[in-house]
């Protein structure tokens, strides 16, 4: 795998080769993931590539990426909301399965 500096130099000198290698590296990472995750990873990469294509300059691309990932984490259907929801469900299950206060623990000897 190339270093950041090598990829940056390639991007500056030969953008088409940079894009070919970038795509090759991404595909290598996705192909190395468990088979059941590969479709979702390709879909995610497709969305990221679409964001990249809309940007007019690197700063705008960065802003688009930030917006995308902030929405993915903090948005209405984001990861954080899913975690909080799951914690609520776990808390409910625990409370439903706790012994009553008047039940005594049995000591086993």
Assess whether pLDDT exceeds 70 at residue 1.
no
Please give, one letter per residue, the 3-state secondary structure of 12-65. Answer: HHCHHHHHHHHHHHHHHHHHHCCHHHHHHHHHHHHHHHHHHHHCCCHHHHHHHH
Which tokens sit at 14? Answer: 């030969």
Global pTM value: 0.64
Identify the pLDDT of residue 98: 74
pLDDT bin (cut points 50, 70, 90) of residue 86 is confident
Predicted confidence (pLDDT) per residue in 17-68, tens digit = 999 999 999 999 999 999 999 999 999 999 999 998 999 998 999 999 999 9
Where are the chain's structural domains? 1-54, 57-96
């Amino acid at each position: 795998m190339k270093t950041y500096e090598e990829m940056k130099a390639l991007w500056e000198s030969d953008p088409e080769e940079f894009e070919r290698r970038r795509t090759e590296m991404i595909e290598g990472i996705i192909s190395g993931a468990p088979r059941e995750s590969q479709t979702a990873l390709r879909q995610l990469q497709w969305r990221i590539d679409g964001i990249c294509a809309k940007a007019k300059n690197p700063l705008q691309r960065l802003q688009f990426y930030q917006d995308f990932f902030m929405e993915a984490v903090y948005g209405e259907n984001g990861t954080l909301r899913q975690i909080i929801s799951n914690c609520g469900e776990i808390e409910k299950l625990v409370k439903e399965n706790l012994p009553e206060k008047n039940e005594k623990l049995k000591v086993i000897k």
